[in-house]
Amino acid sequence: MRLIFMGTPDFSLPSLKRLLDSDHQVLAVVTRPDRPRGRGLKETSPPVKLLASSRGVPVLQPESLKDAQFVRRLSEYRADLFVVVAFRILPQEVVTMPSRGTIDVHPSMLPRYRGAAPIQWAIINGETQTGVSVFFIGRAIDAGDIIRQRAVDIDPDETAGELSAKLSRVSAEVLMEVIDEMDRGEVSVTSQAGAEPCPAPKITRQHGRIHWDRPAREVKNLIRGLNPSPGAFTDFAGKTMKIYRAELAGSSPDGAAPGEITVADNRTGLVVNTADGQLSLAEIQLEGKKRMNSAEFLRGSRLQTGDRFEG
């Protein structure tokens, strides 16, 4: 199979590597342009570009996917298939270009969690299982005919970053199975028409605000669903504190208010009350400081029992 791969972040790398190591021919890779990053704003290439360049594969980095020169160059490759793994929404003239169509790998069991943040929302909503779907891209976002799916369990303490790494490996396996089957002409599909979707919209900063008057497990799921980015947060003394890991810590003490710090010990750390129980804060980051465990934080902080986080 002669194909063009489209992707950008680390999530795309296992799939691209499997394709580069296979008998299929990766004609080119399409990714976003280089961007300035970090404190020095040094020009940085996407992970997919670095891997493709190391293997001698041509890399296309259009600012606009509708750019006429880019579309013309893409058509000149005469690819059988376009493969999309964590990339932008494609214009229809690009989707319909290859003879065998354009397939996408989505980290959920479609039609559940269609949208930009399926991994985060699955964890935030307390799901115990998600998965991977490979489907043909159609006109509606994440709504094309499904070729193959594989379910994946979500561990109770798994963060979005950890689940993403796991799903990226499963995605590569399922993708290779699908492309091999397409090459043999053995693919069958299942329509999503009429299915009730569950949306997974883009995560904004405000999604990360912790409301301590919610149940403890719900708050914990928010924290792990937004780890590593953008991070769940609360306010204290005019500063933002991000919380990256928390554990359930028993029932609420009598009279404790939501957001109230019930333990502030520089050996055992911080414990905070919620609507129906307590959370032990395992990893935090105060605005302007580095990430650390809460016990370490307390050794240099005046935070004490009875103080209260806002939210």
Here the tokens at position 121 are 């929302």
Does 300 score more than 80 pLDDT? Answer: yes
Of 199, 219, 253, which marks where a domain is finished?
199
Same domain for 109 and 145: yes
* Contact call for residues 130 and 107 (beta carbons, < 8 A): yes
CB contact set of 149 (below 8 Å; sequence gap of 6+): 109, 110, 131, 132, 133, 134, 174
Pairwise CA distance, residues 246 & 156, whole Å: 12
| Beta strand 2-7 pairing with 25-30 | parallel
Q: For residue 217, give the nearest of 262, 177, 184, 248 by alpha carbon.
A: 248
Q: Do the domain assignments include residue 309?
A: no
> 42 in helix, strand or coil?
strand
Confidence of residue 37 (pLDDT cuts 50, 70, 90): confident
Same domain for 87 and 210: no
Same domain for 239 and 192: no
Confidence of residue 311 (pLDDT cuts 50, 70, 90): confident
Q: Tell me the per-residue pLDDT of 71-113, one tens digit each, with 9 for 90 and over.
A: 999 999 999 999 999 999 999 999 999 999 999 999 999 999 9
Q: Do the domain assignments include residue 124?
A: yes
Q: Do the domain assignments include residue 304?
A: no
Same domain for 162 and 71: yes
Q: Is 22 exposed, middle or buried (0-12, 13-18, 19+ CB in 10 A)?
A: middle
Domain that holds residue 236: 205-298
Q: Do the domain assignments include residue 22?
A: yes
Same domain for 228 and 168: no
Same domain for 221 and 144: no
Question: Which pLDDT belongs to residue 41?
Answer: 78
- Which residues in 183-211 are b (16+ Cβ under 10 Å) and which e? beeebeeeebeeeebbebeebeeebbebe
R_g of the chain, CA atoms, integer Å = 23
* Contact call for residues 201 and 115 (beta carbons, < 8 A): yes
Q: Do the domain assignments include residue 218?
A: yes
Confidence of residue 127 (pLDDT cuts 50, 70, 90): very high
Instruction: Please name the residue that has the structure tokens 């043909």.
Output: 136
Here the tokens at position 67 are 């750019």
Q: Do the domain assignments include residue 305?
A: no
* Contact call for residues 100 and 182 (beta carbons, < 8 A): yes
Dump the DSSP string for 145-166. Answer: -EEEEEEEE--TT--HHHHHHH
pTM, two decimals, is 0.96
Q: Do the domain assignments include residue 306?
A: no
Same domain for 193 and 114: yes
Q: Do the domain assignments include residue 186?
A: yes
Same domain for 162 and 119: yes
Helix (H) / strand (E) element for 76: namely: helix 68-76
Cα-Cα-Cα-Cα torsion 228, 230, 231, 236, nearest 10 degrees, comes to 150
Of 164, 199, 234, which marks where a domain is finished?
199
Same domain for 226 and 185: no
As for how many domains the chain has, the answer is: 2
Phi-psi region of 299 (alpha: psi -120 to 50; beta: other; left: phi over 0): alpha
Find out whether the peptide bond into 36 is cis, omega within 30 degrees of 0: no
Question: Which pLDDT belongs to residue 42?
Answer: 83
Question: What's the start-to-end Cα distance of the chain, in Å?
Answer: 54
DSSP H stretches of helix in 196-278: 216-225
Query: What's the CATH code of the domain at 231?
Result: 3.10.25.10
Q: Which amino acid is at 26?
A: V
Mean pLDDT to the nearest integer, 197-219: 96
Query: What's the CATH code of the domain at 175?
Result: 3.40.50.170
Same domain for 159 and 55: yes
Question: Which pLDDT belongs to residue 148?
Answer: 98
Same domain for 162 and 125: yes
Q: For residue 212, give the nearest of 169, 271, 137 by alpha carbon.
A: 271
Same domain for 126 and 19: yes
Helix (H) / strand (E) element for 295: namely: helix 294-298
Question: Which pLDDT belongs to residue 38?
Answer: 74
Of 199, 233, 265, which marks where a domain is finished?
199
